[in-house]
Structure 1
Amino acid sequence: MTSRRAALTSIFALGLFAVSACTTDGASRAPAYSGPTKTIRGYLQGPPYYQLTASSVVFVAAHDATGGNSAPMPKLASTSFTLGRNVTFPVGYEIAVPASGPKRVALAVEIRRAGAVIFSNDRMYSQTTGSNLDIPMREAPPKLKLRGRL
């Protein structure tokens, strides 16, 4: 009986350790690097007539694009922010990346409302020099709801 209890306790402790080791990738997460950073900022360009609500959330992720599109692009940094007021395009953004990092940085951007993607960039725009990068945004296609079989 004691060996069974000890086994269950150790499995439970191992499960707690595994859960505590997992982290989420949100805006409050500390960067995986330390040292000097450079800030990339710019504007998200979209249709000027579209009204973004105050609850819309902008997600910006920076990737190492040194190897080009054919190689895996590891994530360097990510950030997110809520707009906080009703606005139209352009929307300003900024993200801090390691200054001594890769020579080419690609940005992926999404704007979400109620968890659904409403705008995204259709390709990752990369930057090799400077600190300003304006990104055109495309409206996400509508989701199809299929009923029954095809």
Structure 2
Amino acid sequence: MISRRSTLLALAAIALLGGGCTTVGAKREPAYSGPTKTIKGYLRGSPLARLSPSSVVYITAYDATNGNSKPMPVIGETSFTLGRSGYFPIAYEIEIPAAKSAPKVALSVQIGTPGRILFANDRQYSQTTGRSMDIPMGETPPRIRNFRRGL
């Protein structure tokens, strides 16, 4: 028969282990309680770059009204799993709150798999007017390995 003390310790251990687990993947889109502004377009990349169905696209929108002289506040973010094998272009869409929408928005985009970024825009592309923007994507450089401890 299991003692009461061992049962409580087992439950505490399960709670600690379960609380530390996280999933790496697409995040849910935030639910805004008000009018939104939608920015959409295409992510353009090399026509030879092959994307897997498990690739996740992360998009973050920043308020770039004051430039990058100080940290830019995040005004919206979204992510989605590609869900198909294929090539560029990839259609995207991000909603930002209209009440907080800035006259100048900068978008940061990354495409990757859990633990690895495959493609990213080389700088944050800004838009001042309009609701569509195509973003060129480039491959990230390979990681440099540390061989101090041998191969």
TM-score by length of 2: 0.77
TM-score by length of 1: 0.77
In structure 2, the gaps of 5 or more residues are: 1-18, 20-25
Q: Which residue of 2 aligns with 1:55?
A: 54
Post-superposition, which runs of at least 4 consecutive aligned residues in structure 1 deviate over 4 A? none
Q: CA RMSD in A?
A: 1.7
CA shift, 1:98, in A, is 1.6
**Using the alignment, how far apart are the partners of 1:42 and 1:27 within structure 2?**
20
Q: Which residue of 1 aligns with 2:126?
A: 126
CA shift, 1:134, in A, is 0.3
Aligned residues: 124
CA shift, 1:69, in A, is 1.4
Identity between Structure 1 and Structure 2 (%) = 53
**Using the alignment, how far apart are the partners of 1:61 and 1:69 within structure 2?**
15
**Using the alignment, how far apart are the partners of 2:46 and 2:54 within structure 1?**
19
CA contact (8 A) 2:29 2:79 kept: no
**Using the alignment, how far apart are the partners of 1:35 and 1:77 within structure 2?**
14
Letter in 2 for 1:129: T
**Using the alignment, how far apart are the partners of 1:38 and 1:87 within structure 2?**
29
CA contact (8 A) 1:27 1:78 kept: no
List per-residue Cα deviations over 1:46-84 (Å, max 9, x = no partner): 000111000000000000000101121011111000110
Whether 2:86 is the aligned partner of 1:87: answer: yes
Q: Which residue of 2 aligns with 1:13?
A: none
